[in-house]
Structure 1
Amino acid sequence: MFFLQMSGVPGSGKSTLARALAKKTGAVVLDHDVVKSALLESDGAEFDTRVAGKMSYDIEWALVESFLAQGLSVILDSPCLYTVMVEKGTALAYKHQATYKYVECILEDIHEIDTRLQTRPALTSQNRQVTSKETFLAAFGTSQKPTHTQPLLVDSSRPLDSYLDKVLAYVQES
């Protein structure tokens, strides 16, 4: 059993990789954008996007804990931009005796990110384009890698098939 936290800017390939890993491992994928979009689209509810984001994480952490308690492997598909996210993830993995893993999708080409954002079917909560490189990088450009475990950095500018097996091996090692 493992708990994998995905990390990376919007459009970097986290969801694509998470879904491919889930198919290979049987893990449950919790997609932050699905939960946040559901909150934003709730009938009669009016959430500021920041409030919806925090509430989404609260829901996701409860689900991660529930699935790990059931002995299921879990992939949390979110930007994972804050140290507290890594701390919470490692604590839950430890509590439920799951192997903790952290994968960061890296895509340096801001034009490719923008193309991906504009061409994907977007959920309500998702960015649809890069309005300016500076604003985008200020909001998403600093992820917090865990210091006690070896994160796997993936160059997601390459085709998924060129790194999927490497990520799969990393996730499955104890």
Structure 2
Amino acid sequence: MLIIFGGLPGSGKTTIARALADRLNAVHVRVDTIEQAIRASGIADDAGPAGYIVAYGIAGDNLTLGRTVIADSVNPLRITRSAWLSVAQAAGVTAAEVEVVCSDKAEHRKRAETRLTDVEGLVKPTWQEISERTYDEWHGAIVIDTASNTVDAVLDELVSRLKSLDAMNE
């Protein structure tokens, strides 16, 4: 299965994606890490679409090995979401789209402004940049709200919904 995460920076998506990867023993593919590696290489100051394209390849390789893959990125545009779905289709696996939101704007802002980076050299966006970011509406995604739930509670709900989706596609 390819589990396609998306959500604005600071919504909790990487926290949830990592925890889900750990629980499912899945491969975690994080676009932030790939994009920062491209910038650090000196090849380009702006990773542009290259980070996503590299992530699609890594995800596809792991899916063909029979692994569950968690794709972790902001995924703000329909075109990137469609590309992830194409990766799953090419590998012949089920795809699940998961949009992570933090419905409490004050909490979301606090998280965005106080979180530390765990990717060397990665500069996190400001709250203003997050608020003004182009972000296309999702259709058909599992929506997970991290505003007032623990990571374990979110994971329990998400795993249950993923199992239902997987059962429907068998």
Rate the CA distance shift 1:156–1:126 in 2: closer, same or farther, 3 A: farther
Aligned residues: 162
Runs of 4+ in 1 over 4 A off after TM superposition: none
- The TM-score with structure 1 as length reference comes to 0.83
- Which of 33, 45, 53 is the matching residue for 1:48? 45
Instruction: Show structure 2 runs of 5+ residues with no match.
Output: none
State the 1:46 CA deviation: 5.0
User: Hey, what does 1:96 align to over in structure 2?
Assistant: 91
User: Hey, what does 2:59 align to over in structure 1?
Assistant: 64
Matched, 1:125 2:118: no
State the 1:38 CA deviation: 1.2
Q: Quick check: 56-65 or 118-127, which moved more?
A: 118-127
Once the two structures are superposed, what CA deviation does each residue of 1:17-48 show, in whole Å capped at 9, x if it has no partner? 00111111111010111111111222xx1523
State the 1:126 CA deviation: 4.2
> What is the SS of the residue equivalent to 1:53?
coil
Once the two structures are superposed, what CA deviation does each residue of 1:117-165 show, in whole Å capped at 9, x if it has no partner? 33322133342531x3xx432315x23424xxx3111111122222211
User: Hey, what does 1:151 align to over in structure 2?
Assistant: 141
- The TM-score with structure 2 as length reference comes to 0.85
User: Hey, what does 2:157 align to over in structure 1?
Assistant: 166
Assess if the C-alpha contact under 8 Å between 2:2 and 2:93 holds in 1: yes
